[in-house]
Structures are given as structure tokens and as C-alpha cells.
Amino acid sequence: MSASIGDLAGDLLEELGYAGLVVLMAVEHVFPPIPSELVLPLAGFEVGRGNLSLLGALAASTAGSLIGATFLYLLARKGGRPLVLRLRRVLRVGEEDLDRAEQHFRHHSAWMVVLGRMVPGLRSLVSLPPGLLRMPFWRYLALTFAGSLVWNTALIVAGRQLGRRWSEVGGVVGPVAQWVVVAIVPLTLAALVVRSQRRAAPAA
């Protein structure tokens, strides 16, 4: 399946260039079977071949990410939980997954939006709680932009560096991204606890 998706992505990039990259990244956010771990390194390969510029590929991929993420945010905000669950097969989101995502979002909303962009399988899910719980749209968009830009840059540059071996990126970034989140989240929570304790401590 990944080979056919790779062929489709390659055809779109060849035919439509930056517009194809925008479409692929927008669709990737809504339909997880199209992985950015495949699309972005391929775009990096095209950058290395001179068919795309690095800045153009970054701008197009990040624009596509914002379009897809905004669509899911608005779907959740306007349609609410009933609509999200009605579309769960399309979005590949179960009710239990949604419950856990909402719970995590209530405790560390900003980190969830940013880091969720860098974890395969979470990019669609992480857009729903901000809409359901009505995070201010411009704050959501800024956090999404930050996380998407970091992720897109890393994978495009990796694909450019690997050249014809660009497809190897996908097998590495998934596990690495998950371990990074596993490491960062506890450290972030510890820092928040320390900061709250310092604020609560009476002045000497």
C-alpha cells in the first residue's frame, strides 16, 4: 500500500509541484493512511533534484498542514462530538481515543497541539479536542504552525540529504518521534510543577 501511495504522491508532485504538495499535506491530516513520513521525504528528494526549492517546499507543506488541521478544528467546533463520532471511520478516531485526547488536552493543551504534529497517527486526532473544547482559533493556528514547521523541515531536509534513499526516513522517524514525546512530556510536567511550587511558596 505504501508503494502505491508513494507512486501517487510522486505523480502529484511531478504534475502539480507545490500545489500537489499542498494537497497531499492537507489530505494527510484528514486521512491518516496518507503519511507525511512518506510525502515529506519525497518532497525533499525533489528539492535535491532541483525540481522544488527548499523554501517553496516548506511553505507549501506547511500551508497544506494548516489547511488540513483547520478543517478538522472547524469540523469539531461546528459539528461537536456527535459529528466527529459519526465520521469516526473516515477519521479513524474511536470514542475511547477521543476521550483520552480530550483529557490530555485539558491538562496540557499547548504542548499537545505542538507535539502532536510530530507523532505519526496523532496528527488527525490532535486537531479535534481544540475544536471540541473551543480553544481560541488563532492560538490553535499558531501552535499548529510551529509544530508543523518543525516536523516538515526535519523530514524534507532528511529526504534531501538521503537522495534516492528518501524512503528510509519513514522507518526511522515514527519510533524516534514517539520516544521524543515520551521523554519531553514528563520533563515538561515536572517543570510546570516546580514553577507552580515556586509561585505558591511564601516570600522570605
Q: Which residue has the higher pLDDT, 176 or 104?
A: 104
Q: Which residue has the higher pLDDT, 71 or 115?
A: 71
| DSSP annotation of 94 | -
Q: How far is CA 197 from the centre of its chain?
A: 33
Axis crossing angle, helix 54-86 with helix 137-162, rounded to the nearest 10: 130
pTM: 0.74
The per-residue DSSP string of 134-191 comes to: T--HHHHHHHHHHHHHHHHHHHHHHHHHHGGGGGGHHHHHHHHHHHHHHHHHHHHHHH
pLDDT tens, residue by residue, 2-22? 556 556 777 778 788 899 899
User: CA 72 to CA 61: how far, in whole Å?
Assistant: 17
Phi then psi dihedrals of residue 202, to 5 deg: -70, 145
Confidence of residue 204 (pLDDT cuts 50, 70, 90): very low
pLDDT of residue 84 exceeding 70, the answer is yes
User: CA 80 to CA 95: how far, in whole Å?
Assistant: 13
Nearest CA-CA partner of 58 in 153, 135, 146, 151: 153
Nearest CA-CA partner of 127 in 71, 167, 176: 71
Q: Which three cell numbers stand for residue 109?
A: 493543551
Confidence of residue 1 (pLDDT cuts 50, 70, 90): very low
Q: What is the mean pLDDT of residues 129-154?
A: 88
pLDDT tens, residue by residue, 26-37? 888 887 666 777
User: CA 124 to CA 116: how far, in whole Å?
Assistant: 9
- Burial of residue 180 (number of CB atoms within 10 Å: 0-12, 13-18, 19+): middle
Q: Which three cell numbers stand for residue 51?
A: 525540481
